[in-house]
Amino acid sequence: MSNKKAEQILNAGVSMWLDSLSREMLDSGWLKERLTSWGLRGQTSNPTIFEKAVSKGSSYDPAVKEAAEKGLTREQLCWDLMSDDVQRACDLFLPLYKESKGGDGYVSLELDPTRADDTEASIAQAHQLWKTVDRPNLMLKVPGTEAGLPVLEELLACGYNVNVTLLFSEERYREVMEHFMKGLERRVDQGQPIDSIASVASFFISRVDSEVDSQLDKIGSKEALALKGKIAVANARVAYAAYQEVLENSERFAKLQAKGAQLQRPLWASTSTKDPSYPDTLYVDELIGPNCVNTLPENTLEAALDHGKTEVTLNKENEKLARQELAQLKALGVDLHQITNVLLVEQGVEKFAQSYESLVSTLGEALKAAQSAGATS
């Protein structure tokens, strides 16, 4: 690793993953170069990221033309493109995956978000994608919804790596850790190895502040306004404490560790600040501690490497402060449970589903254009 700041953050416990993926960054060599210059430890993608990638530039044009010649549907083309990009990214990260003995080097691919409430369909697609991508450092992204919890458990029992996404509340996070352990326990009971299975739990940060801050603005009191920009971090710090309790310090998980189980690390997602008055590295600086991942868009990652902090901020003192801030929020009448366990989850699933549908629609138009061009040539 040639980036000193990235090395310092890693030494403090945080692996920095890139929250972006496109064919352009693969074709140009940009991603390969950033593995070293930025000290990248992994990569995540989602339908919104792919939608932006496909609608920008011409890097996908040859694949669209080939798909038109083969007569693929727009859905088949969509998953072919995403699988190919993730496959290529996995290959770039494979040396790190091997060097870290499966600690890092993962690339995430999200299951169809329009099926987020269909457990069986999600499991079926997961089997297909795992076979198609066929890389040991693939992570399948499963939404942390009620329907997603049994998907998580089943995929882990099958030996797949899983990134549980769209987590906003400590309550749901505890359910995720329960199903994480159940999946590994099922696999142990089947006499299967668990030492090469990795999982992360993606806890979304900035969206919590966006929603809570708007409610604090409506209250408008001095006490309310003093909490702006603090609740997302407080919420995540309490989640980290839950992780330490349930996984790091429990007899139940210790038994799985004795069989070779890896910790399901907390992953901080949605870590670019939405309010321009907040420091651009707020959700990096305040969530540094052992056994964490932070997945960042390019601009936030550059900012963290330029002027971000490197000291541990996930400590008992800050956990105590977080609980005080959450108590103050409750006293003001703001229902954080409703925001994090219901509203933001529903919004998140809907947003990804809309992005996926938009992506498929865009590819459909591109296919028609390619077919027309082929017919006239």
Q: Where are the domains of the chain?
A: 4-376
Spans of the chain below 50 pLDDT? none
Closest CA to 44 of 216, 226, 166: 166
Is residue 231 within 8 Å of residue 329, measured between CB atoms? yes
Is residue 303 within 8 Å of residue 326, measured between CB atoms? no
Half-sphere exposure of 69 (CA within 13 A, CB side): 8
Q: Is 116 exposed, middle or buried (0-12, 13-18, 19+ CB in 10 A)?
A: buried
pLDDT the model gives residue 375: 63
pLDDT the model gives residue 46: 87
The enclosing H or E element of 48 equals helix 47-55
pLDDT the model gives residue 38: 96
Is residue 242 within 8 Å of residue 169, measured between CB atoms? no
What is the fold, at CATH topology level, of the domain defined by 4-376?
TIM Barrel (3.20.20)
Active site residue 141: yes
In the set 52, 131, 141, 274, the catalytic residue is 141
pLDDT the model gives residue 55: 82
Cα 122 to Cα 100: distance, rounded to the nearest angstrom: 30
The enclosing H or E element of 323 equals helix 316-331
pLDDT the model gives residue 48: 87
pLDDT the model gives residue 24: 95
Closest CA to 291 of 354, 231, 249: 249
pTM for the model stands at 0.95
The CA distances from residue 218 to 206, 221, 235, 330, 332, in Å, are 19, 9, 21, 15, 11
pLDDT > 90 in the chain, percent: 93
What's the pLDDT tens digit per position in 250-289?
Answer: 999 999 999 999 999 999 999 999 999 999 999 999 999 9
